[in-house]
Structure 1
């Protein structure tokens, strides 16, 4: 529903809610109830609240809550303070408004008699409802604490007048600051180490790039997409706005540390048992994994037959010393196995990739389960996520609109120029495990932690991997040999068409079998800029189809070698938004744009500016990081 309908409702609501009669009972002029905006200011005056609170009605993300505050405050002035009255005032205000309008004795001068136990109990219960709906559990604590500080005499104003409404308003003000000015953010993973550490608490500056107006403004205050502990959505989609960004101080600059909504989070697998209520953030990666499982499951008997024949063939050929060229003979005999009717291999999966992905989507959405480590895991199905309610991620923006990027042997190139290595950026090295064992004391003094900064290789126990900054590398390389560790090269595979390589390609953007990318070698590509026009070629479609469909909202079809956008034949496409490329400073332990691709401008949340607190997950605080700027 468009926000316009909400604002139209706010305009006609005072008339529908009988405010002309209510205003008259409060000693105001009847005509004041008919003037849009002014009538809400007068309602606040009648309630004893500042008139300017009415201005918050125009701010998306706050307006509906301010409307509730005005309603509750107004009916309380006429003595409606009970639990039922409070709930009606919040969710069905027409009921108490009509009751007040029809009551000949109603007067706007109600004050709680703090010496009357019945009135106090009634008022306290109503205040608990207000605070619980705005601040669960903590609201009760505030109610008791603030209630104890109140005056008990009817003739005197309470020390904290109308504290239920006041705390609710404070919460709304805090929600406004969080939405439009700055927002606290916690680092949950090590993808930005050592620029940012797990346990760092940040302030995200939303004014830097301009605050986004919420797409789903009707949302529970001070939480993101789920209400903690209750595991229910914090927002409703009854009101949806178009993407709008208010003016900011600057554009997103290359190498800024940026907080953004997760691009691959447009769809999510909901499981309240998991962190953030999600079974992994990358739904599209989960689909590929489940598609592989569905293929394996459907062809398991044939796989078993083929593997049995292969094992017998190997045993016969490689144990016979009279065979001079076992590899050639094995390859020749393997062709005989491939000719069997039951023969199946993973090239078949790639040929029918979309079919198996469709089966995976059905498994997630309808059967509500996924295969994980040998067994099925039930969950609660698939949920769509609006842009502003996707998970918040933090990475370094290494590419801005119009840039061309490439990664060669772990070195990022931006427009053909090597990108800088940042002071706390992690690089990966390989070392001899025995050599490393002799430096444990030195590494402890350097603050290097096992499993985070160094660990033994899973594949070869004689080797170890180290994740080091440039300074740490300089120190340790004086004592042991450190070799840069890259991902497997194309040469690892038999040839460019190797099936194993093609399946591995599905792990990296653009998740296409024919585009070979890894975390340390990434093909050159272009970052779209608003207004850029591209020709629709096979290569461009592979890289930008998701941009056209998921982010810019068009349908895309390929028929007989031609492309159709929104049902019309198209030879080219003009981008409607700017895009960015984000990478973690912990380059080898970071799920970033190399996995899920471009970040649209409407996903940008703000600039990570300040670490205000840092808590070590192993205990204690990192006081040296308190109130440090992020670079």
Structure 2
């Protein structure tokens, strides 16, 4: 439902609530109830609250809370305090408002006598309800805990009323600040290491690029998309806003560290037992993997004659080579034949998969969404989960990366070096690449940590044969180990026309997730970042890059028929972009799910600029004091 309906309701509500009539009891004029905004300020004054609270009715996400606050305060000023009265005031105040307007015995002069036990008992259940709805259970715990730290004074509010009011307006203020000013954010993964570390707590400046008005403003305060512990959605789509961004003082620049809503998170495999309630964020990647698994399980092995014999023979040949026994020329020729035959068989198998890939993807979606099962590669078994969940833009997972490309930029990646508009992108202080290491004896983990700042599992593994190193760390190791060899792990792009079927399937691992585009973690073909208002000609090469932009982010239908393209059912030879887009990459280049996996980030997904690390907790214990209150760059 559009937010317009909510604001229209707020405008006509004073008439429905008969405020023109009830205002007269307080010495005000009937006409004051007809002026939008001003009428809420008058109602607030009648209820004994500050008139400026009426301004909060304008703010999406807070307006409905303040409407409830006005109603409860208003009816209580007229003597309605019971649990039933409070429930009506919060959810359906019309009956009580009619009584206030029409019953001359009901006057707006009720004041609670906090020394009178009868008055306290009268409102006790209603006050408990307000506190519970404000902060369920925790609110009561906080209230009672803090009550032991202060002495109750005669004539003062009860602890439930006092702390209920305090917590309510603390949450209102905190929600406004969190939504429009800045938000705390915790680094959950190592994709930005070593610039940002797992356990870092950041301040995200939302005003720098312009605060984004929430698309789903009706949500539980101070949580993102799931209420902790009970694992239910924290929001409702009863009210939905169009994308709106307030003016900011800066644009997103190349190489800013940016927080954004995960662009591929419109659909997610949901399981509240997992971190963030998700079994991996990349639903589209999960579908590709599941489709391939289902296909491989379906293969009738009897239709692959001698494949097992071929494999066994090849293993025997390889075993001889590994043991230092050279194959004679006849055996080499035989081995080459076996390899060729085996490759042909495998290629034929996967070509059948490619020819019917959409059917297998449909089966995968059914397995995930209906059967609620997905194979977990890390655990080597099927996982039963809760199916799929759709999330609005502002409720998708928060991600943090470095903005490499801004709208209109041309990018390519060669041997892990990014080129922006033909110029080399800078190598950042903590940006790290992955190397195959040989001819080196790794010292103890303590030495590696103290001398080079390297940690097992995070920076080096496989007994030190694989290392993630910054340029400075690489230079230091080369200096101390002159005989060591450090070879950049650098899978090259392949000519698609020369790829086997199984190689083409690997193209689906990287954007644009197309069988016809071969990109790798360290090498990407040249591409253009979409810019609002710019028009491109649609062709067989670029459609794969921009189809998701057209359909998922700009919400058009797209079809290809016999080499022609149809957008919203009409034939199209070009397309004009409606939003700006960005290309985001992690500084931990070989361990980052970023734009190389899921593509462009639309402007309506941008949350804010990562400004400062205000706290840092070491997952191994302790606090990283050297990182406290450090600027992010």
Q: Same fold (TM over 0.5)?
A: yes
Whether contact under 8 Å (1:302, 1:344) holds in the other structure is no
Q: CA 1:201 to 1:323, structure 2 compared with 1: closer, same or farther past 3 Å?
A: closer
Corresponding position of 2:337:
329
Which residue of structure 2 aligns with residue 562 of structure 1?
564
Number of aligned residues: 620
Could you tell me which residue of structure 2 aligns to residue 441 of structure 1?
447
- In structure 1, how many angstroms separate the alpha carbons of the residues matched to 2:268 and 2:384? 14
How is 1:159-238 mapped onto 2 (pairs within 5 angstroms)? 163-238=163-238
1:280-325 Cα deviation digits (max 9, x unpaired):
1111111111111221232254577664354466589999986561
Residue 570 and residue 402 in structure 1: after superposition, are their counterparts in 2 closer, same or farther (change >3 A)? same
For residue 539 of structure 1, report the CA deviation from its aligned partner: 0.6
How many angstroms apart in 1 are the aligned matches of 2:385 and 2:180?
A: 35
Q: Deviations over 1:528-565 (max 9, x none)?
A: 11111111101110111111111111100011110000
CA distance in 1, matches of 2:316, 2:621: 59
The CA deviation at 1:124 is: 4.1
1:72 is aligned to 2:80: no
Matched, 1:55 2:55: yes
- Shift of the 103–520 alpha-carbon distance from structure 1 to 2, 3 Å rule, reads same
Question: Which segment is superposed worse, 59-68 or 603-612?
Answer: 59-68
Deviation at 1:267, TM superposition (A): 0.8
Give the Cα–Cα distance (whole angstroms) in 2 for the partners of residues 192 and 335 of structure 1: 39
Aligned to 1:393: 399
More deviation, 531-540/162-171: 162-171
Write the deviation string for residues 381-426 of structure 1: whole angstroms up to 9, x where unpaired.
Answer: 2211111111110000011111111111111111121111111222
Equivalent residue for 1:574, pick from 573, 576, 601: 576
Within a 5 Å distance, the mapping from 1:250-399 to structure 2 comes to 250-302=250-302, 307-308=307-308, 310-311=310-311, 314=314, 325-330=333-338, 345-373=349-377, 374-399=380-405
TM-score by length of 2: 0.91
Question: Unpaired segments of 5 or more residues in structure 2?
Answer: 321-326
Give TM-score, length-normalised by structure 1: 0.91
Q: 1:611 aligns with which of 610, 613, 629?
A: 613
1:477 CA drift (Å): 1.7
Equivalent residues of 1:72, 1:90 under 8 A apart: yes
Q: Contact conserved, 1:113 with 1:153, CA < 8 A, in 2? A: no
User: Whole-Å Cα distance in 1 between the matches of residues 341 and 591 of structure 2?
Assistant: 42
**Partner residue in 2 for 1:586:** 588
Asked if the contact 2:369–2:388 (Cα under 8 Å) also holds between the matched residues in 1, the reply is yes
- Report the Cα distance in structure 2 between the residues aligned to 1:584 and 1:335, rounded to whole angstroms: 36
Secondary structure, counterpart of 1:308 in structure 2: helix
Structure-2 residue corresponding to 1:486: 489
**1:625 counterpart residue number:** 627
In structure 2, relative to structure 1, the CA distance for the partners of 1:114 and 1:205 (3 Å cut) is same
Instruction: Show structure 1 runs of 5+ residues with no match.
Output: none
Gap change, CA 1:622 and 1:375, over 3 Å in 2: closer
CA distance in 1, matches of 2:213, 2:105: 44
Aligned counterpart for 1:596 among listed residues 588, 595, 598: 598
In the aligned structure 2, how far is the partner of 1:401 from the partner of 1:35?
44
Change (3 A) 1:300 1:172: farther
Structure 2: distance between partners of 1:312 and 1:228: 53
Secondary structure of the corresponding residue to residue 72 of structure 1: helix
Q: Could you say what secondary structure the match of 1:229 adopts?
A: coil
Q: 1:160 to 1:146 in 2, by over 3 A?
A: farther
Instruction: Assess, with a 3 A threshold, how the Cα gap between structure 1 residues 234 and 337 changes in structure 2: closer, same or farther.
Output: closer
- More displaced stretch, 80-89 vs 419-428: 80-89
CA-atom RMSD in angstroms: 2.8
Is residue 2:432 matched to residue 1:432? no
Cα deviation for residue 195 of structure 1 reads 0.9
Superposed CA offset, 1:242-300 (max 9, x none):
11111101110000000000000011111111111111111111111111122123225
